[in-house]
Amino acid sequence: MDELSKEEVVIVDKTLAKLPKTPIILLCVIGLVLAPIAVYDDNWLNSNIDTDDFWGTIMEQNVYLSLDTFQMEYCADGDCEIEENEKLAKLYQLCYDGVTEEEGEDEVDENEVEEMCGPWNELHKAGKTAKTLIFASMFIVLSGMLVGLSPISNQIRIIPYSVITAGGGTMLVAIFNWKRMLPEFTDNLDNGSGQAVAILSGILFLIAGVIGIIQSRKLIKQELQIDNEALSEE
């Protein structure tokens, strides 16, 4: 192979190595921006629990559940205000204290406490677990991105994108597990924007990872083909 041909092979090789990364990184960055927005969204579950017409004024009462808070919203003709905003862990403790105070600490029936206050504790545990898994997902994806941008990625092309894919899977598992841990009464509540944003973030991570894996495999085949052609012409 002449000197010009060798230079062309090097140029092609470098170009192929750079092309796949831009859309993948962009998808990951968008997902990483959306993930914390989802975590701190106040509307993971919601419900309109009352709507009345008082002399032409439409009065509404809505509830919102996030991963760690309970909110009660009151509206008059679309003018809404949050009048209750409590942490789920605090609501469980208030409920527990109320039951023990009413029954007496020595006569408290744990089954009764669980029946009355258990849902708050289940909501708290579900939200805490989901938060942990979502932040773990973000860390996994960020690690994959950093490895993918480092020089070492030229030797381990597929691994960074496999890590990113795993991060996307972790995000979706976080949402599925959260729904599985919810108490029964939440079956009557509507899904909120927090869930949708978290799901979108996880899907973006998965798409980024899958694109990276596919392009890496294609790139490896192209580079092998170039190397074989170079060897055959020498």
Q: pLDDT tens digit string along 43-78?
A: 999 998 877 777 777 778 899 999 999 999 888 877
**pLDDT higher than 60, residue 35:** yes
**pLDDT higher than 70, residue 8:** no
Which pLDDT belongs to residue 107? 67
Q: What is the mean pLDDT of residues 26-53?
A: 92
The pair phi, psi for residue 84, each rounded to 5°, is -135, 130
Q: What is the mean pLDDT of residues 209-231?
A: 77
Q: What is the pTM of this model?
A: 0.81
Give yes or no for a contact between 217 and 165, defined as CB atoms under 8 angstroms apart.
Answer: no
DSSP state of 54: E
Fold of 3-233: Butyryl-CoA Dehydrogenase, subunit A; domain 3 (1.20.140)
Give yes or no for a contact between 46 and 189, defined as CB atoms under 8 angstroms apart.
Answer: yes
**pLDDT higher than 70, residue 130:** yes
Query: What's the CA angle centered on 159, arms 157 and 161, to 5 degrees?
Result: 85
Which pLDDT belongs to residue 2? 46
Give yes or no for a contact between 200 and 137, defined as CB atoms under 8 angstroms apart.
Answer: no
Instruction: Give the pLDDT confidence of 79-121 residue by residue, as tens digits.
Output: 888 878 899 999 998 888 888 777 666 666 777 778 888 899 9
In the chain, domain spans: 3-233
User: Mean of the per-residue pLDDT values for the chain?
Assistant: 84
Which candidate, 134, 127, 132, 137, places its Cα nearest to that of 180? 127
**pLDDT higher than 70, residue 223:** no
**pLDDT higher than 70, residue 231:** no
Give yes or no for a contact between 173 and 133, defined as CB atoms under 8 angstroms apart.
Answer: yes
